[in-house]
Each structure stands twice: as structure tokens, then as C-alpha cells.
Amino acid sequence: MSLGSHRHTRPVEAKCDIKNCTQPAERSFPKDKVQNILTHGLKDDVGRRAFLCKEHYKEYRKKTKTERLTDRLGWAEPRG
Ligand SMILES: [Zn+2]
């Protein structure tokens, strides 16, 4: 796959790499990371980067955010 001169920053034809998901991909992340965070399982033919659709990206972000928050529990933020 060559990058060519296209200016699109996201792959146009890529599909989400989560098993049983057929949504178009929004973003890609290192496969290892996705595997650790999303436990749905990835398709068999995933390369070094896993593509995520909007929904799974949202989920991925939510979970990474949680991780980060847990990481710095030093300052508890009061929330209504
Ligand atoms: Zn998906």
C-alpha cells in the first residue's frame, strides 16, 4: 500500500477491524493497544494497526480515558 499523493488523512475504504463489525473505519491505532483495551476481539487479518469505526473508537477512547484517570488518582476532581 503506497501513500500516494492523496491528502485524505484517514483511509477511505478501510473497515473496522473489530470482529463482526462492518462499519467504515474512522481511525487506526496500534493493534496491540486495541487488543488490550477492546476485548471484542479483532479480525484475523489485522495488520500492525487496527482500524476502528466511530462506535468502537468511542468505546476505545472511553476506556483509555478511564485508564488515564485511574492512573492519576492523586487529584480527585469533585464532580456533580
Ligand atoms: Zn466497529
pLDDT tens-digit series, residues 14-40: 899 999 999 999 999 999 999 999 988
The mean pLDDT value for 60-75 works out to 72
Calpha distance 31→47 (Å, rounded)? 7
| Of 27, 69, 65, 66, residue with least CA distance to 49 | 27
- Long-range contacts at 33-39 (CB < 8 A, ≥ 24 apart): 34/60, 37/63, 37/64, 37/67, 38/63
Q: How far is the CA of 22 from the centre of ligand 1 (A)?
A: 7
Spacing, Cα 69 to ligand 1 middle (Å):
24
The domains of the chain are located at 25-68
Q: In terms of Cα–Cα distance, which of 17, 19, 21 is closest to 31?
A: 17
Read off the pLDDT band of 79 (50, 70, 90): low
The pLDDT value recorded for residue 34 is 96
Q: Give distance in angstroms: CA of 18 to centre of ligand 1.
A: 5
Q: State the pLDDT at residue 10.
A: 54
